Amino acid sequence: MLKLIRHLRPFVWQIVLIFVLLFAQAMADLQLPAFMADIVNVGIQQHGIEGAAPEAVRAVEFDKLTLFMSDASRSKVEASYRRLDARTLSPGDYAKYVKEYPALADQPLYILNTDDSAAIEGINGIFGRSILVVLALEQGAPLTGVTIPPGGDPFAYLRQLPPDELDNIR
């Protein structure tokens, strides 16, 4: 055995490289199920959307979404977003943001203002419920216990309701 090791001594680096590459291959093979789960869960089931909290949303849509949130949820969401408006931004910041978010040229936007994964996970649940309600209303679904005049904007009507009736709808 010692004679064999003596002959392999010039090839030590190549042998170490082989073990490192075998280790890397084993780690890649072990990651394959996680990658497949992400492809199926996020890519197929959720249509590529990882979370309900949007990175950027138009102010009009943001107002619709916050209409169906409790006061605590609304304050949590508003703390996680920053309003961008052409009137309030400096010309340099406005040009930078318009390049990244072209819709800002036409109307104000809200952008996600946090990188905290726990905060984002919390607002994902809040937005998930609100998005479903807004989507249903935009598609013409009726609200239980509320009669919206035909041809009218349901969101404008709901904004005019007294706070206690709006709480019952929530």
Cα→Cα distances 37→5, 43, 72, Å:
45, 9, 34
Dihedral angle of Cα 150, 156, 159, 160, to the nearest 10 degrees: -70
At residue 170, the pLDDT reads 63
The sheet carrying 56-58 orders its strands as 56-58, 109-112, 81-84
Q: How far apart are CA 158 and CA 128, in angstroms?
A: 19
The domain spans of the chain are 14-49, 56-169
The candidate with the shortest Cα–Cα distance to 141, out of 162, 169, 99, is: 169
At residue 144, the pLDDT reads 66
pTM over cut 0.85: no
At residue 164, the pLDDT reads 74
Higher pLDDT, 61 or 136: 61
Place 43 in a pLDDT band, splitting at 50, 70 and 90.
low
* Predicted confidence (pLDDT) at residue 105 exceeds the cutoff of 70: yes
* Predicted confidence (pLDDT) at residue 25 exceeds the cutoff of 90: yes
